[in-house]
């Protein structure tokens, strides 16, 4: 019994101690804190105190030090007093964390890469024009016999193609034979007679050679002195008979094509390169050729010529690629797909192509300044690759740029107003009238500034459409006279300062041709 009482007493003491600790923790320490020195006051901190860094996507994750999330976004600093991230600098856009999450904003670092891209073009296989040979007799006659009588038949150099009979050719052979025998018989005669016979012999021989009679046939004629009834024509090159018009017994006239032999050991591919890509194509560059008949093979060739003409119908420029054709796999008239690797070997500053907003007049990139602030910058671009664009001016290596949802940021924010601060930081005017151009200023001086300004009287306001009808005075920068016109407003907040009958000083820009947008409103200066 005594043991049970002792145990119960110990439990009661423990509960009392725990309750006392909770009470002291809730109401402060029992030991009084040292008081402040007499006559002194505790001065509040001039700077806000940084508490922690929170996840930029709104997740329940904090950090005592700066860090990045899995998408590469910076954690946002949280300060004492309920303030989140300091206000952005002039000319920047501020997007809340919730809106960033809804828009799906994603950033990447501007870096230096070797900008290589591939230009694709469609083409066709064509024979090398320098390897096409035509057999056309230069005299009149008849086809006596065909040795090659099928189109597409392969032939070797010197192989007999056909035999012809020509009365004119037989007469020329006899004249040569008579002249040659006469020269031999008159060797002992006078010099004039010998020279005349030699000239006659040489003229007869030249006539036969001009008719493309082979040296072999001429030597046989000179040796035997007998004129042959037929003459054999042979292939001048190893290749394929691509055209055959000769028929057994047909009559032909001088210059008529009877055979065409093509050497297909090397062929051309004529590729049609689009106009916007032709500036990157250079003669001497290598190209890859793919044909549907051999999907597992890649043919390599070299660009030998860029044609100087453009097709107005397709906006393409022909490019000639010369390549070997082992096994004669490539047939003339085949369709081919060409890939040309273009670009420089040096590293250049690039950003993803989705980071650039092209308005037609200038190109803009949104730079992530941290803490939800984005600075729009005008950039000058260079070459383009498949998914990157070279940046020549506007941003530096290592800066983060928005690569996803930048067009949505443009639509959801007053980007035009922020662009007004790109040239120089805007200073607040001492009075509303100070924002307007000084009296007597020239139109050229006013036009050099970003945007335009004027004074006027509000006629009507349409909150639903976000438009204002304003009777304004002359606009020197645009050489406008005084008139009444309708303006768009950059955001809903500006509508609160615009009331029918109010005299205001406005600043406005041209967002697109014919669309004038008010970006700033001040009460008009009182007239003296």
Spacing of C-alpha 219 from chain mean position: 66
DSSP-derived pairing of the beta strands 515-523 and 503-512: antiparallel
Write out the residue range of the structural domain in which residue 371 sits: 106-116+347-419
CATH number at residue 135: 2.40.50.100
Tokens of 233: 């024509």
Cβ–Cβ < 8 Å for 435, 507: yes
Is residue 528 included in any domain, yes or no? no
pTM of the shown model: 0.49
Clarify whether residues 270 and 248 are in a common domain.
Answer: no
Q: In terms of Cα–Cα distance, which of 66, 98, 96 is closest to 84?
A: 96
Instruction: State residue 343's pLDDT score.
Output: 66
Spacing of C-alpha 77 from chain mean position: 39
CA–CA gap between residue 246 and residue 145 (Å, rounded): 10
Clarify whether residues 192 and 251 are in a common domain.
Answer: yes
Strand pairing partners for 122?
272, 337
Clarify whether residues 252 and 289 are in a common domain.
Answer: no
Tokens of 312: 């107005």
Question: Residues for the chain: how many in total?
Answer: 528
Instruction: State residue 357's pLDDT score.
Output: 82
CA–CA gap between residue 435 and residue 336 (Å, rounded): 63
Clarify whether residues 136 and 194 are in a common domain.
Answer: yes
- Give the burial string for 22-35 (b: 16+ CB within 10 Å, else e): eeeeeeeeeeeeee
What torsion do the CA atoms of 289, 295, 297, 298 make, to the nearest 10 degrees? 20
Instruction: State residue 129's pLDDT score.
Output: 93
CA–CA gap between residue 170 and residue 112 (Å, rounded): 79
Is residue 36 included in any domain, yes or no? no
CA–CA gap between residue 51 and residue 86 (Å, rounded): 13
- Give the burial string for 436-453 (b: 16+ CB within 10 Å, else e): bbeeeeeeeebeeebbbb
SS3 label, residue 184: helix
Q: End of a domain among 384, 419, 454?
A: 419
Strand pairing partners for 378?
364
Cβ–Cβ < 8 Å for 146, 272: no
CA–CA gap between residue 475 and residue 417 (Å, rounded): 19
Clarify whether residues 317 and 217 are in a common domain.
Answer: no
Is residue 41 included in any domain, yes or no? no
Residues 6+ apart with CB under 8 A from 328: 240, 264, 265
What kind and span of H or E run contains 107?
strand 106-109
DSSP 123-181: EEEEE-GGGEEEE--SS-EEEEEES--STT-EE-TT-EEEEEE-HHHHHHHHHHHHHHH
Q: In terms of Cα–Cα distance, which of 467, 395, 474, 468 is closest to 439?
A: 474
pLDDT in tens, 122-181: 999 999 999 999 999 989 999 999 999 999 999 999 999 999 999 888 888 888 877 777
Cβ–Cβ < 8 Å for 452, 475: yes
Is residue 28 included in any domain, yes or no? no
Q: End of a domain among 228, 262, 296?
A: 262
CATH number at residue 332: 2.40.30.170
Separation in Å, CA 486 to CA 3, 346, 404, 424, 458: 96, 52, 34, 29, 10
Beta carbons within 10 angstroms of residue 356's beta carbon: 20
Residue ranges of alpha helices (H) inside 323-449 are 406-412, 415-419, 443-447
Total domain count for the chain?
5
Cβ–Cβ < 8 Å for 293, 334: yes
Instruction: State residue 268's pLDDT score.
Output: 96
Tokens of 106: 């994603």
**First-last CA distance in the chain:** 104
CA–CA gap between residue 90 and residue 93 (Å, rounded): 9
Clarify whether residues 361 and 293 are in a common domain.
Answer: no
Instruction: State residue 406's pLDDT score.
Output: 61
Cβ–Cβ < 8 Å for 128, 267: yes
Query: Nearest 5 degrees, angle CA 154-CA 157-CA 161?
Result: 65
Strand order in the sheet with 239-244: 132-135, 259-262, 239-244, 154-155
Instruction: State residue 407's pLDDT score.
Output: 62
Is residue 439 included in any domain, yes or no? yes
Tokens of 417: 């107003």
Cβ–Cβ < 8 Å for 412, 108: no
Q: End of a domain among 281, 312, 344?
A: 344
Is residue 31 included in any domain, yes or no? no
Tens place of pLDDT for every residue, the chain, 528 residues? 444 444 444 444 444 444 444 333 434 433 333 333 333 333 444 456 777 777 766 566 778 778 887 767 777 777 664 433 444 455 567 777 777 777 778 888 888 887 777 888 999 999 999 999 999 998 999 999 999 999 999 999 999 999 999 988 888 888 887 777 776 666 656 667 667 777 887 888 888 888 878 777 887 777 777 778 888 899 999 999 999 999 999 999 999 999 999 999 999 999 999 998 888 888 888 999 999 999 999 999 999 999 999 999 999 999 999 999 988 999 999 999 999 887 666 788 888 888 888 877 788 888 888 877 888 888 888 877 768 888 888 888 889 888 887 666 655 444 544 454 444 344 433 333 333 344 443 333 333 335 788 999 999 988 888 888 999 989 888 878 888 888 988 877 788 778 888 888 988 888 777 788 888 888 887 765
Clarify whether residues 155 and 256 are in a common domain.
Answer: yes
pLDDT in tens, 409-448: 655 444 544 454 444 344 433 333 333 344 443 333 333 3
DSSP 237-306: SSEEEEEE---TT-EE-TT---EEEE--SEEEEEEEEEGGGGGG--TT-EEEEEETT-TT--EEEEEEEE
CATH number at residue 410: 2.40.420.20
Clarify whether residues 269 and 309 are in a common domain.
Answer: yes
Instruction: State residue 60's pLDDT score.
Output: 60
Is residue 306 included in any domain, yes or no? yes
């Amino acid at each position: 019994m005594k043991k049970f009482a002792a145990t119960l007493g110990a439990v009661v003491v423990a509960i009392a101690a725990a309750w006392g600790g909770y009470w002291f923790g809730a109401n402060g320490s029992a030991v009084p804190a040292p008081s402040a020195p007499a006559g002194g006051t505790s001065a509040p901190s001039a700077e806000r105190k940084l508490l922690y860094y929170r996840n930029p996507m709104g997740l329940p994750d904090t950090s005592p030090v700066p860090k990045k999330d899995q998408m590469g976004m910076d954690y946002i600093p949280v300060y004492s007093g309920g303030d989140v991230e300091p206000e952005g600098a002039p000319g920047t856009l501020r997007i809340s964390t919730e809106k960033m999450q809804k828009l799906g904003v994603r950033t990447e670092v501007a870096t230096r890469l070797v900008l290589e891209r591939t230009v694709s073009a469609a083409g066709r296989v064509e024979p090398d024009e320098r390897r096409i040979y035509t057999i056309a007799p230069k005299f009149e006659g008849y086809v006596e016999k065909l040795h090659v009588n099928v189109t597409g038949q392969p032939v070797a150099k010197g192989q007999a193609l056909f035999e012809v009979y020509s009365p004119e050719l037989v007469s020329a052979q006899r004249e040569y034979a008579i002249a040659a025998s006469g020269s031999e018989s008159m060797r002992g005669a006078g010099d004039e007679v010998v020279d005349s016979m030699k000239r006659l012999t040489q003229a007869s021989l030249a006539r036969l050679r001009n008719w493309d009679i082979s040296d072999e046939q001429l030597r046989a004629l000179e040796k035997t002195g007998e004129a042959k009834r037929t003459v054999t024509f042979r292939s001048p090159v190893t290749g394929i008979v691509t055209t055959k018009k000769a028929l057994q017994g047909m009559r032909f006239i001088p210059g008529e094509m009877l055979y065409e032999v093509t050497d297909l050991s090397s062929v051309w591919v004529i590729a049609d390169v689009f106009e916007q890509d032709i500036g990157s194509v250079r003669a001497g560059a290598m190209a890859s050729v793919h044909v549907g008949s051999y999907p597992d093979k890649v043919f390599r060739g070299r660009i030998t010529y860029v044609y100087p003409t453009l097709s107005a119908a397709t906006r393409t420029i022909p490019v000639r690629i010369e390549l070997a054709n082992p096994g004669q796999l490539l047939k003339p008239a085949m369709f081919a797909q060409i890939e040309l690797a273009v670009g420089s070997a040096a590293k250049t500053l690039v950003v993803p192509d989705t980071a650039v907003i092209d308005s037609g007049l200038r190109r803009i990139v949104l730079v992530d300044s941290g803490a939800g602030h984005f600075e729009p910058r005008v950039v000058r671009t260079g070459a383009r690759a498949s998914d990157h664009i070279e940046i020549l001016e506007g941003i530096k290596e290592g800066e983060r740029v928005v690569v996803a949802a930048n067009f949505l940021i443009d639509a959801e924010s007053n980007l035009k107003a922020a662009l007004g601060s790109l040239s120089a930081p805007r200073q607040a005017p001492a009075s509303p009238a100070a924002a307007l151009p000084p009296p007597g200023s020239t139109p050229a001086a006013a036009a050099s500034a970003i945007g335009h300004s004027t004074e006027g009287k509000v006629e009507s306001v349409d909150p639903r459409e976000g438009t204002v009808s304003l009777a304004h005075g002359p606009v020197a920068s645009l050489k406008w006279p005084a008139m009444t016109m309708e303006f768009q407003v950059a955001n809903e907040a500006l509508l609160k300062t615009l009331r029918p009958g109010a005299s205001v000083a406005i600043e406005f820009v041209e967002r697109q041709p014919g669309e004038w947008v008010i970006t700033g409103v001040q009460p008009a200066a009182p007239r003296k």
